[in-house]
Structure 1
Amino acid sequence: MILTGLAVGIALGIVMQRGRFCVTGMLRDIFLQRSWRTFVGLLIVIAVHAVGLAALTSTGVITPTYNNFAPMAVIVGGFIFGFGIILSGGCASGTWYRSGEGLVGSWIALATYAISTAAMKDGALTGFTDVMFSWETELTTLPAMFGVSVWWFVIPFAALTAYLVRRFMILEAQRPKIARLGNQPAWKRPLHVYTAGALIGLIGVIAWPLSAAAGRNSGLGITTPTSHTLQYATTGDESYLNWGVMLVLGILVGSFIAAKATGEFRVRVADATTSVRAVVGGTMMGVGASLAGGCTVGNGMVQTSLFSFQGWIALLFIAIGVGVAAKIFLKPASVAKREAATTETYSTEESLAHATPTSAEDRVLPLNTQDTQDTQGTGTAATPAPLGGVKVATSLVSLKPAVSEKLRDLGSGYYALDSLGAVCPFPLIEAKDVMKTLQSGDHLVIDFDCTQATDAIPQWCATDGHEVTDFKETGEASWQITVKKG
């Protein structure tokens, strides 16, 4: 029976990979993009899950058990987990499926996540776990507290989710069409995040009775199965080889199958900074999820659908941890730049102090019509003599905004940004940052190999009014998109 876990995991891995379904990104977008659009995808998972599990419980097919709410463990654990998933570049399920795409940074985060989870549950850190769980309340679920059927919560929540889906779909229909990769068959195109959410919710409903039939009275879960995977691999103890272990291994297999079939698999080695963050983030994920009683799947999808105190409060503090870490760590690379309007004027000394030009001629414009006449009176602009590689004006000048040093000038208003090797969300962060330095009508050519950016960058363009003039594959798990500034 445990092989049904492998089948469920493969299906889950395929859907998550094709839907770029990442709860970390959904929570991160709330803080960095001020957007709730993708978060609604998580609400769809919860709503579908809630309806299905309520139906299965009402008919006696499953009999969920509910943990007493331990405030200190859940609150602290949720925050630590949320902070950690920003550093590791993905939540627990996201780390599993991105490992299947070939991201070495995710492999590192997955290893330290498994080690710290095992230490918290059965190893050297069990004492710390016990202390954190020492304060336990009688609270379990909201329906139990109010003494009502779970349907009193399920139906209004499903209705609210349906309203939000309709609202965001209408907004999506009103904005420019999202650019997609050219000459790509329909089966290779990513799933809409809402479609992926509905499928994941359905898979979660199917998972519970299959898991229960294998002796595991639970549904989808990542943290404990990850710990058991490590313990089985290191001890050979077959008691650890269970339905949950098959589930997480299936996610890895399903993601690999989907990525390989669509040309999105390639081993991508992380740089030193990303690797260090993955070690720290993975460790924090394991510690936090063990304390909170689950990750963004166990708490954020399953326990929330049961309307438990643990699930919803853990999700809240995971979001807070994501928000704090995002503000600290998710910033564009720092370079010398100046954001000045085209009508601003500077003296020659100020011009030299601020100049970081790729091409000096693109920066120096005459202030008045007299400066546009050459010495022969032909009406063409005179060329100032260069000084230290920067052309010097002899009077006040009006400057264009300085183009970022991150860019390579391709000429004719085209600039190149190399984001190869950058993990989500940095290709988008860097693109937004350098776009501020370009003029309307300039083109930004972005090379990247982050799978999630194939959706995130076109979404940003449609939202901010930029035009995608070209979008193509340049190799295995490598893409190039050309964006015209609006």
Structure 2
Amino acid sequence: MISYDAGAFPWLGTIVGGYVFGIGIVMAGGCATVTWYRAGEGLIGSWIALAAYMLTSAVMRSPHLAAFNQQMTTYSTPHNAIDATFGLSPWPFVALLVLVTLWLAHRELKKTKLTVAALPAKKTGLAHLLFEKRWHPFATAVLIGLIATLAWPLSIASGRHFGLGITAPSANIVQYLVMGDDKFINWGVFLVLGIFFGAFIAAKGSGEFRLRAADDVTSVRSFAGGILMGFGATTAGGCSIGNGLVMTAMLTWQVWVGLAFMILGVWTASWYLFVRPRRQKTLGAASV
């Protein structure tokens, strides 16, 4: 029912885009998905980052940058699928991924449990489960995995041949508003709108929704982060969802390399924007 061709591996675009996207994550205060749901919670800084991200993603897909995008894809290798590169079945790689995941999960569960402050129980039944009770991270991960699996048949049934995705649907909203072409309204657009409204409902139900304005420095940084995320995700062929979640499960070089450089970009921005200045400030205070 579902067929997929991994195609070539655009290594240069993946490396550059993944690294830039990682830097943008830190500057915007979260990745593309986080920006959508934090906007639904009332964070105005996330609204700014989201607007810049959507606009940049749409511009990157415009005819004005077609030559740039085409040039980036020329730096590629023939095989993108990891199993095809080694001439093996994908199942040994799936088994390895399962074993590594189980080992990491086992290590995490052995750690000392931290006491996390929870909202006082004011509701009962389903309302308490949805709006007050803290979910275990692994339970949430399983639900996300199920959603990512269901996204394939549900999206394909509507004529969109892909799974979960954030960047392209975000760009599609701007493209529709500018050009008014119904072809841009697809399953992915309703997905990202659902994230926004779902976050709004959850925040309202738990009493945590409120409009929170950011200061001028955070606003400018969020805007710049949104631009970097829009550029990086488009150049890398996907964001932390399309690449980091969906395509990694499809065992392609593009996304595992892209994910590594996203992590490197996050580390770089975190170090130079927050960790290093804080250390210098601490050392300066200690010397005084």
TM normalised by structure 2 equals 0.91
Counterparts in 2 of 1:76-475, with a 5 A limit?
76-173=16-113, 177-181=114-118, 183-184=120-121, 186-187=128-129, 188-331=132-275, 334=281, 338-339=285-286
Equivalents in 1 of 2:201, 2:7: separation in Å? 36
Helix, strand or coil for the counterpart of 1:260? helix
In structure 2, distance between residues paired with 1:311 and 1:182: 37
Residue identity in the other structure for 1:106: S
Match of 1:373 in 2: none
Structure 1 runs (4+) deviating above 6 angstroms are: none
- For structure 2, the 5+ residue unaligned runs are 123-127
For 2:125, the equivalent position in structure 1 comes to none
Q: Give, in whole Å, the separation in 1 of the partners of 2:119 and 2:165.
A: 37
Q: In the aligned structure 2, how far is the partner of 1:200 from the partner of 1:323?
A: 25
Q: SS of the counterpart of 1:107?
A: helix
Contact 2:24–2:227 (CA under 8 A) maintained in structure 1? yes
Q: Distance in 2 between matches of 1:251 and 1:183?
A: 25
Tell me the distance in 1 between the aligned counterparts of 2:99 and 2:82.
Answer: 18
**Could you tell me how far apart the structure 1 residues matched to 2:240 and 2:120 are?**
35
1:191 positional shift: 1.9
**Structure 1 position 68, deviation (Å):** 1.3
| Aligned-partner Cα distance in 2 for 1:193–1:127 | 43
Letter in 2 for 1:136: S
Instruction: Quote the residue 2:12 is aligned against.
Output: 72
What does the per-residue CA deviation read over 1:163-203, in whole Å, with 9 as the maximum and x for residues that have no partner?
21111111134xxx413236335521332222211111110
Percent identity over paired residues? 43
Letter in 1 for 2:200: F
Q: In 2 relative to 1, CA 72–182 (structure 1 residues): closer, same or farther, beyond 3 Å?
A: closer
* Letter aligned with residue 130 of structure 1: Q
1:64·1:218 contact (CA, 8 Å) conserved in 2?
no
- What amino acid is the match of 1:274? T
CA distance in 2, matches of 1:172, 1:257: 33
How far apart are 1:337 and its partner, in Å? Answer: 6.7
CA distance in 1, matches of 2:119, 2:76: 55
1:155 is displaced (CA, Å) by 1.6
Looking at structure 2, the residues matched to 279 and 126 of structure 1 have their Cα atoms a distance apart, in angstroms, of 24
Higher relative contact order (CA 8 A, sep 6+): 2
Partner SS state of residue 161, structure 2: coil
For 2:8 and 2:15, the matched residues in 1 are separated by 14
In the alignment, is the contact (CA less than 8 A) between 1:117 and 1:286 conserved in 2? yes
Letter of the structure 1 residue corresponding to residue 55 of structure 2: I
Query: 2:49, 2:154 → 1: CA distance?
Result: 29
Compared CA separation, residues 265 and 182, structure 1 to 2 (3 A): closer
Secondary structure class of the residue paired with 2:140: helix
User: Residue 25 of structure 2 aligns to a residue in which SS?
Assistant: helix
How far residue 129 of structure 1 moved from its aligned partner, in angstroms, is: 1.7
State the distance in 2 between where 1:182 and 1:68 align.
Answer: 49
- 8 A contact 2:7–2:78 mirrored in 1: no
* 1:335–1:165 CA distance, 2 compared to 1 (3 A): closer
Comparing both structures, which one devotes a greater share of its residues to strand?
1
Q: Secondary structure at the match of 1:172?
A: coil
C-alpha deviation, 1:338, in angstroms: 4.3
In 1, Cα distance between the equivalents of 2:225 and 2:119?
36
Match of 2:177, SS?
Answer: helix
Q: Distance in 2 between matches of 1:159 and 1:86?
A: 31
Q: Calculate the TM-score normalised by the size of structure 1.
A: 0.55
TM-superposed deviation, 1:125: 2.6
Q: Check conservation: 1:119, 1:126, Cα contact below 8 A.
A: no
| Aligned alpha-carbon RMSD (Å) | 1.8
Residues 127-147 of structure 1: per-residue CA shift (max 9 Å, x gap): 222221222221111111122
